[in-house]
């Protein structure tokens, strides 16, 4: 039976023809038109596409270039994307390449920009057409080339990023979010939800020191504990914050040896709560970016339950946390913090009691070992040349240690009753 179009059936057939663009529509149309109807579904479209790969430079020799000028290649990734190409009489596509390199300076005086300009000068002499774009933490260097001898294309994008405290966790962070919680499989048996973490606090910022520059240039996260009301307090706190370091008020407190001068803005054991609050507010005025408070000296105060109760209450009301430098083995700061339900940072060891680079490196390794065993550790050094030299010398070990460097706020212990702790607080 043949189906003939007539006036009455025109509307119905128009609907069916539109519906036939779907797979169900083809089936319905086939039933109506009968088994002899061929919809042409077995026909396949064959399309020949020409694939072009534009010439790009070989980046492998540049690994040696960056090493020679003082940068370590920490991370490298790459890939290609297929891009459509409009040619006169053929279907075509081309491959766009992309490389992402993360570079780590091995010396504090290195600057990426002049070295990159030097490299661009050499590439221009070789005949490459370049496109340079400044990014937040580095540069994107593009190489223009031609496809099929006629069409210009951006053939290679070379993303060069310098590791620093602001982007470190994106490239080196071990903790990953799972259903809203932070978890790392390597740390599961340690009973901590994070990768092993190490917080390095550098105390006594505020004075002039030749170590300040090298420490501020450090490419891994540090926490800067800044003394109050000194000539360089505000400047160094701001520079540390701009570098990506977490900042603490390094609060002077009375020591067992009461003859030791505290310097300006000190807290004494016999002070009342209101006086303590006034001093802390005055000291914090020049460093509004401070995330917490740590004690400078303070063995007499940290052993006193009443004094520490007042200090921690005020610190908590200010929205800050407290870090016990543990200048006394009889400190009650952790006990009082637990009673108040406050998280607390707690020093595990000083790394530079001996002003010797090799001994400081040994102490840093001890901090790494503790972090691997327990899941977290906190160490304290000072703004000294030997400490800066040791940290720079330890860069390769720190980057390959499997331990994530974190600001102290990522290594706070949470209260689990008087005298106890339940491990580091989860990142917020």
Question: Of the candidates 102, 130, 162, which is a domain's last residue?
Answer: 162
Lookup: tokens for 1? 């039976």
Handedness of CA 417, 419, 420, 425 (dihedral sign): positive
Are the C-beta atoms of residues 42 and 142 closer than 8 Å to each other?
A: no
Helix axes 23-33, 10-19, angle to 10 degrees: 140
**304 and 412 fall within a common domain:** yes
**211 and 236 fall within a common domain:** yes
Please check whether residue 137 lies inside any domain of the structure: yes
Total domain count, the chain: 3
Are the C-beta atoms of residues 298 and 327 closer than 8 Å to each other?
A: yes
Return the DSSP state at 207.
Answer: B
Please check whether residue 168 lies inside any domain of the structure: no
Are the C-beta atoms of residues 310 and 257 closer than 8 Å to each other?
A: no
Q: Which of the listed ranges 9-18, 38-47, 100-109, 183-192 does the model predict with the highest average pLDDT?
A: 100-109
Supply the range of the domain harboring residue 154: 49-162
How confident is the model over 330-365, as pLDDT tens digits?
999 999 999 999 999 999 999 999 999 999 999 999
The DSSP bridge partners found for residue 146 are 152
Look at residue 40 and give its three-state secondary structure: coil
**73 and 35 fall within a common domain:** no
Q: What is the mean pLDDT of residues 88-114?
A: 91
Please check whether residue 81 lies inside any domain of the structure: yes
**185 and 328 fall within a common domain:** yes
Lookup: tokens for 254? 């009375």
CA distances in angstroms from 148 to 98, 106, 156, 277, listed in the order given:
20, 43, 16, 74
Return the percentage of the chain with pLDDT > 90, whole number: 72
**208 and 247 fall within a common domain:** yes
Please check whether residue 167 lies inside any domain of the structure: no
Lookup: tokens for 32? 């109506």
Radius of gyration of the chain (CA): 32
**24 and 11 fall within a common domain:** yes
Looking at residue 381, what is its pLDDT?
98
**270 and 372 fall within a common domain:** yes
**104 and 8 fall within a common domain:** no
**207 and 147 fall within a common domain:** no
Please check whether residue 409 lies inside any domain of the structure: yes
Please check whether residue 101 lies inside any domain of the structure: yes
Q: Which helix (H) or strand (E) holds 91?
A: strand 91-105
Q: Band of the pLDDT at 397, cuts 50, 70, 90?
A: very high
Please check whether residue 169 lies inside any domain of the structure: no
Let me know how long the chain is.
428
**392 and 418 fall within a common domain:** yes
Please check whether residue 86 lies inside any domain of the structure: yes
**258 and 186 fall within a common domain:** yes
| Residue 49: pLDDT over 50 | yes
**417 and 284 fall within a common domain:** yes
CATH code for position 286: 3.20.20.370
Tell me the average pLDDT of the chain: 85
């Amino acid at each position: 039976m043949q189906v003939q179009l007539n006036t009455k059936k025109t509307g119905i057939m128009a609907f069916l023809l539109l519906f036939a663009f779907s797979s169900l529509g083809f089936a319905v149309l086939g039933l109506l038109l009968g088994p002899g109807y061929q919809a042409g579904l077995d026909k396949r479209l064959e399309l020949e596409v020409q694939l072009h790969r534009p010439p790009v430079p070989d980046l492998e020799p540049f690994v040696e270039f960056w090493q020679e000028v003082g940068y370590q290649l920490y991370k490298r990734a790459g890939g290609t994307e297929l891009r459509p190409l409009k040619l006169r009489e053929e279907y075509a596509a081309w491959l766009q390449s992309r490389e992402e390199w993360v570079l780590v300076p091995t010396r504090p005086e290195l600057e990426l920009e002049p070295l990159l300009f030097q490299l661009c000068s050499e590439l221009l002499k070789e005949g490459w057409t370049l496109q340079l774009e400044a990014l937040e933490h580095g540069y994107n260097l593009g190489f223009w080339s031609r496809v099929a001898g006629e069409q210009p294309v951006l053939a290679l994008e070379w993303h060069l990023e310098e590791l620093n405290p602001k982007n470190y966790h994106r490239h080196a962070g071990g903790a990953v979010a799972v259903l809203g919680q932070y978890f790392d499989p390597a740390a599961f048996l340690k009973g901590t939800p994070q990768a092993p973490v190490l917080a390095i606090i550098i105390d006594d910022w505020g004075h002039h020191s030749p170590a300040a520059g090298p420490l501020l240039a450090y490419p891994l996260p540090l926490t800067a504990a800044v003394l109050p009301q000194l000539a360089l307090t505000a400047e160094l706190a701001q520079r540390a914050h701009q570098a990506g370091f977490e900042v603490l008020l390094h609060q002077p407190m009375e020591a067992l040896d009461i003859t030791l001068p505290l310097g300006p803005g000190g807290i004494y054991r016999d002070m009342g709560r209101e006086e303590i609050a006034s001093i802390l507010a005055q000291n914090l005025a020049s460093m509004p970016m401070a995330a917490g408070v740590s004690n400078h000296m303070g063995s007499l105060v940290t052993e006193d339950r009443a004094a520490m109760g007042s200090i921690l209450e005020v610190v908590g009301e200010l929205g800050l946390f407290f870090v016990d430098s543990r200048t006394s083995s009889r400190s009650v700061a952790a006990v009082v913090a637990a009673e108040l339900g406050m998280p607390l940072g707690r020093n595990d060891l000083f790394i530079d009691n001996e002003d010797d680079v090799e001994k400081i490196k040994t102490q840093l390794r001890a901090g790494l070992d503790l972090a691997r065993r327990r899941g977290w550790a906190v160490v304290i050094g000072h703004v000294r040349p030997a400490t800066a030299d040791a940290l720079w010398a330890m860069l390769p070990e720190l980057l390959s240690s499997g331990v994530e460097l974190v600001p102290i706020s990522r290594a706070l212990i949470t209260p689990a009753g008087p005298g106890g702790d339940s491990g580091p607080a989860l990142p917020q």
